[in-house]
Amino acid sequence: MSAPSPARAAAARVLERVLTDGAFADLALEAELGRRKLSARDAALATELVYGTLRWQRYLDWILAPHSRRPLDALDPAPLVLLRLTAYQIACLERVPAFAAVNDAVSLARPPGAKPGVAEFVNAVLRSLARRGLREREPKPPADPVDALATRCSFPTWLAARWVARYGVGEAEALMRALNKRPPLTLRANTLRTTREALAGRLEKEEGLAARPTVHAPEGLVAGHGGRPGDWRAFADGACAVQDEASMLVARLLEPQPGETVADVCAAPGTKTTHLAQLMDNRGRVLAFDPQPARLALVGEAAARLGVTIVQTLGGTVETLAPEFGAACDAVLVDAPCSNLGVLRRNPEVKWRRRPEDLLASAARQGAILAAAATMVRPGGRLVYATCSLEPEENDDVARAFLAARPDFRLDPAAAFPLPLDPDGVLRCWPDRHDTDGFTAVRFRRSVGAERSDKMGA
């Protein structure tokens, strides 16, 4: 039997790390591609296999189960990964020959020291699956309609049930299917060095990539997928940053102005931080906080690449650092750590790791960060709270609790904004409606006559 495809070998290794080590798929994939030095074509296939398998994991287990004499949850990680990886190719990728995918899986199931019979088991299950027509691959669905919907859309039942209860079946299904799509490659033109139009022309000339303007963000481009952006000359010399359109809109909601003092209190890896500086025409001061030194270093690296000179990085949490600055900021951004349930199309492994109780734990942490960040806002200043989540516990509930605790702040809807805000003034970006990541953001303004003490706990 010939050696397996390097793309499939790389994908299998990444998926096994995600399953056994709890690795993040994007970081594990980047490391594996760098180690193997695959061709652009093989790297693209490995990427598709990793993310596609993770997105459709539950559905794949469902169609695999009738062909396995052993329960899938009783299998060792290595053969389970190979079954899912190959089922994805058989069921979801029309251009991949089933026999090639199966042969590679069997080869990968025979590493040195492999248990006897593993390769034969993998071969039997996958050939049984491949022999059936597409209509015959799906077994009988679960009796419960929400469970059946979650299985077909490949989501945890608890999350599907939340969305069905909140949005209805049709909207919930549209949201889940949108979160299972491959996201666009969206770029932010660095207007300190170029224009959106000039960047589009450069990408076409240098990389052979067509690019179109984003619908709402005036500095954004949607580019065709072609190699790693980090390898582009336009990226290396700071003409652009990779950033989703919803993320760009969050910085615009803060409306930072040239000459202001602005804080980004959850700054790493620096994508929004450098966008704030860009919107300020690189004039003023941007304070960038992060408690992790390695991630904070990424902020400095991003600023240097993009030619941003007004960012000051500070290591530590906002609760620790805020008292040093008092109410000195014209504007503060809280891009809070959250469940990440709005960015599942980019981080699909997250949906298999989250539990309902995680939302309340996130909300408690978010409330503490927001409370500390508020002490940095001068009277009359602006405060934006944002998450890459659509869940009310992490957004609406946090905002209401904040306003109840800080009567010197009020909601401050933008008078005019590129994407229409909700009637309550909240920015909500929907994957199924806007083809963006799922983001929620709200802006507050501190009363000009505020005399409330900003001491923590006052």
CA atoms lying within 13 Å on the CB side of residue 242 = 15
Residue 96 has phi, psi (to 5 degrees) of -95, 120
How far is the C-alpha of 367 from the C-alpha of 379, rounded, in Å?
A: 20
CA atoms of 259 and 303, how far apart (whole Å): 17
- Please confirm, yes or no, whether 429 is among the known catalytic residues: no
Dihedral, 186, 40, 108, 130 alpha carbons, nearest 10: 70
Residue-wise DSSP of 197-230:
HHHHHHHHHHH---EEE-SS-TTEEEE---S-GG
d(CA 367, CA 162): 22
d(CA 86, CA 106): 10
Q: How many whole angstroms separate alpha carbon 302 and alpha carbon 378?
A: 28
Instruction: Using DSSP bridges, classify how beta strands 211-213 and 185-189 pair: parallel, antiparallel or unpaired.
Output: unpaired
Whole-angstrom distance, CA of residue 197 vs CA of residue 211: 9
Distance separating alpha carbons of residues 406 and 384, to the nearest angstrom = 14
Burial class (CB in 10 A: 0-12, 13-18, 19+), 127: middle
**Ordered alpha helix ranges (H), 24-117:** 25-36, 40-55, 57-64, 77-92, 98-108
Residue 449, φ and ψ in degrees, nearest 5: -90, 20
- Dihedral over alpha carbons 58, 60, 72, 80 (to 10 degrees): -110
Q: What is the Cα–Cα distance from 237 to 229, expressed in whole angstroms? A: 12
- Strand bridging mode 439-446 / 377-387: antiparallel
What is the token pair recorded at 260? 């202001």
Helices 77-92, 57-64: crossing angle, 10 deg rounding:
90
Closest of 302, 218, 223, 304 to residue 268, by C-alpha: 302
CA 412 to mean position of chain CA atoms: 27
Per DSSP bridges, beta strands 329-335 and 261-264 are parallel
Which residue in 153, 266, 329, 388 is the catalytic one?
A: 388
Q: Which amino acids are annotated catalytic?
A: 388
